[in-house]
């Protein structure tokens, strides 16, 4: 037991002596001076250009309490699509039938932006679907907690021939 106590005492004394020596060295060392040329360079240099912060991004919801709607409802929307839809005439894929899924953002003011094809049928059908979405009037925006918000919306557009 006596050897262990002596060993602990030696370790404690050596550790405290080492830390005391480091403290004394820190106190005795004068602070480093900054060369005058460095100080003057900061004064003579032009101020850095101001970086303009990007405006805060508006959140875009996928699901909201009240989803956006076409003015007049779904029936009016499908009537609008049927009235304005033009089938590709001279394109090599003009005989294709199916659906094009178009995704877009309905902004809080009802305008449409960021139109993109989610599922394609053909390049000419996709172009027609985008043209139709761009023609649409402003929508009634979606609402979250009682206020109008930006919302993603995906719309299938049918391209089928009546036979």
> What tens digit of pLDDT does each residue of 144-163 get?
999 999 999 999 999 887 76
Identify the band that residue 67 occupies on the pLDDT scale cut at 50, 70 and 90.
very high
Paired strand residues for 19: none
**C-beta of residue 145 within 8 angstroms of C-beta of residue 65:** yes
Closest C-alpha to 127, from 163, 162, 89: 89
Mean pLDDT of 3-26: 52
For the chain, what are the domain ranges?
A: 67-159
User: pLDDT for 42-65, tens place per residue?
Assistant: 556 666 667 666 556 678 889 999
H/E stretch holding 154: strand 147-159
Check whether 13 has a pLDDT greater than 70: no
Class of domain 67-159: alpha beta
Report the pLDDT value the prediction gives residue 34, as an integer from 0 to 100.
Answer: 55
- The token pair that represents 33 in the structure block: 């001076």
Point out the least confidently predicted range of 22-31, 45-54, 108-117: 22-31
Report the pLDDT value the prediction gives residue 18, as an integer from 0 to 100.
Answer: 54
Tokens 């053909």 locate to 122
Report the pLDDT value the prediction gives residue 131, as an integer from 0 to 100.
Answer: 96
Whole-angstrom Cα distance, residue 77 to residue 58? 27
User: pLDDT for 84-101, tens place per residue?
Assistant: 998 877 766 777 889 999
């Amino acid at each position: 037991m006596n050897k262990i106590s002596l060993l602990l005492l030696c370790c404690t004394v050596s550790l405290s002596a080492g830390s005391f020596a480091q403290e004394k060295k820190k106190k005795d060392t004068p602070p480093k001076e900054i060369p005058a040329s460095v100080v003057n360079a900061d004064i003579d240099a032009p101020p850095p250009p101001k970086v303009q912060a990007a405006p805060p991004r508006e959140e875009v919801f996928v699901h909201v309490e009240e989803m956006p709607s076409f003015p007049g409802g779904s029936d009016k929307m499908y009537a609008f699509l049927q009235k304005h839809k033009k089938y590709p005439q001279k394109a090599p894929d003009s005989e294709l039938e199916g659906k094009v899924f178009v995704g877009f953002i309905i902004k809080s003011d009802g305008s449409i932006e960021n139109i993109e094809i989610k599922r394609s049928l053909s390049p000419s059908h996709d172009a027609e679907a985008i043209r139709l979405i761009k023609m649409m009037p402003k929508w009634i925006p979606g609402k979250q907690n009682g206020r109008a918000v930006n919302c993603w919306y995906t719309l299938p557009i049918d391209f089928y021939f009546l036979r």
